[in-house]
Amino acid sequence: QRPIQPSFTKSLCRESHWKCLLLSLLMYGCLGAVAWCHVTTVTRLTFSSAYQGNSLMYHDSPCSNGYVYIPLAFLLMLYAVYLVECWHCQARHELQHRVDVSSVRERVGRMQQATPCIWWKAISYHYVRRTRQVTRYRNGDAYTTTQVYHERVNTHVAEAEFDYARCGVRDVSKTLVGLEGAPATRLRFTKCFSFASVEAENAYLCQRARFFAENEGLDDYMEAREGMHLKNVDFREFMVAFPDPARPPWYACSSAFWAAALLTLSWPLRVLAEYRTAYAHYHVEKLFGLEGPGSASSAGGGLSPSSSQASMGDDEDDDEEEAGPPPPYHDALYFPVLIVHRQEGCLGHSHRPLHRHGSCVETSL
């Protein structure tokens, strides 16, 4: 996998920085109004008793009566909001996570060698009706009233992990190359897992269904969470790689960023930095189901999808029905989960024949 150098149009569509652009245009409009007040002159006609009723004609600015302070006030307020936006913008925060290319390769190697852990968590809770005294103000008078509110009370928390000792697992992530070809590369890392055999997927779904079924009904409500993390790895989703972080390009320096911000040129600098920065979305993918029965035949060709009842039900019915892809997890267990079952994360992978339709789960947890 190589970083992609986007075109100017694609870089502008991917990150337009519309807030900065809007504030910049409004400030330019206020500056234009102030300049118009100083450059433009209008002819005024006045009558005064000192001239015995004769009129006096003279040229003056259209903003001579204090109207020039209106665009100046708007300009100062917009400039303050503009600086706050520059402080909180994502482009400034990305400059704080810059690393060199060698450390990126080392981090990718650690993630590829790391042991995956697919976890589930169930939190049982209910709501308790409580009251409290609050002080309110009406027409300058203070009065006390009773407020009724509902407080969440957690009563039970359970956690479990996917036991894949009988399935086996290996890393099928691509090799990341070509980081030295761009002056800067923005990297996004995501974790996902997939299954090479029907047996491995059914083992995962059965363990997951068993865990949530055991914890369902312990209280009025249950919050379900699940995800995957890599053991002994400090996972970071975003970072910017430079061939030499000590000497980054001029548009990637903090001093250049703030100099452009003070001169109200932050948006052009961001667009330039976005255009000159390559982009790579790297998937760290773990493939389960290499040692279980039937995995060899599964790796040899395409796998037919099993029915949703077979994926979530008894093991003896796993190979009897072939209706369609497995259902989304929230449809199977009737409560929302945090992992999304989608296929587009698998497109373009070299091991595409190992996937059943919809059996690649992508998560950034």
> What pLDDT band is residue 57 in, cutting at 50, 70 and 90?
low
How far is Cα 118 from Cα 208, in angstroms, rounded to an integer? 10
116 and 199 in a common domain = yes
- If asked whether residues 107 and 190 sit together in one domain, one would say yes
Q: Are 155 and 322 in contact (CB under 8 A)?
A: no
299 and 271 part of one domain = yes
Please indicate, yes or no, whether residues 212 and 301 belong to a single structural domain of this protein. yes
- Tell me if the pTM is above 0.85: no
Asked if 118 and 62 sit in the same domain, the reply is no
Q: Which long-range contacts (CB under 8 A, 24 or more apart) does 114-117 make?
A: 114/230, 114/231, 114/232, 114/233, 115/230, 115/231, 115/232, 116/169, 116/191, 116/193, 116/228, 116/229, 116/230, 116/231, 116/286, 117/161, 117/162, 117/228, 117/229, 117/230, 117/231
313-330 burial, b at 16+ Cβ within 10 Å, e below that, comes to beeeebeeeeeebbbbbe
Rounded to whole angstroms, what are the CA distances from 8 to 1, 17, 277? 22, 14, 11
Asked if pLDDT for residue 99 goes beyond 60, the answer is: yes
Number of C-alpha atoms within 13 angstroms, CB side, residue 313? 14
Residue 230 has pLDDT above 70, yes or no: yes
> What was the pLDDT predicted at 341?
36
Same domain, 243 and 328: yes
**10 located within any domain:** no
In a domain, 139, yes or no: no
The last residue of a domain, from among 85, 107, 139: 85
Q: What is the pLDDT of residues 112-160, one digit of tens each?
A: 999 999 999 999 999 999 999 998 888 888 889 999 999 999 999 999 9
pLDDT of residue 55: 61
In a domain, 351, yes or no: yes
Please tell me the least confidently modeled range out of 19-23, 24-28, 46-50, 177-181: 46-50
Q: What is the pLDDT of residue 150?
A: 92
Residue 152 placed within a domain: no
Same structural domain for residues 180 and 61?
no
Residues 71 and 171 in one domain: no
Domain end marker among 34, 60, 85: 85
Band of residue 29 on the pLDDT scale cut at 50, 70, 90: very high
Task: Please report, to the nearest 10 degrees, the dihedral formed by the alpha carbons of residues 333, 337, 339, 341 taken in order.
Answer: 40
φ/ψ of residue 208, rounded to 5: -65, -45
Is residue 213 in a domain?
yes
pLDDT surpassing 60 at residue 342: no
Structural domains counted in the chain: 2
Mean pLDDT for all residues in the chain: 76
Same domain, 50 and 118: no
Residue 253 sits in the same domain as residue 311: yes
The reply to whether 230 and 352 lie within a common domain is yes
pLDDT beyond 80 at 63: no
Q: For residue 92, tell me if it sits in a domain.
A: no
**Does 255 map to a domain?**
yes
> For the ranges 92-96, 265-269, 305-309, which has the lowest average pLDDT?
305-309
Note whether 111 and 76 are same-domain residues: no
Residue span of the structural domain in which 57 resides: 18-85
**Is residue 321 a part of any domain in this protein?**
yes
Q: Is the pLDDT of residue 81 over 60?
A: yes
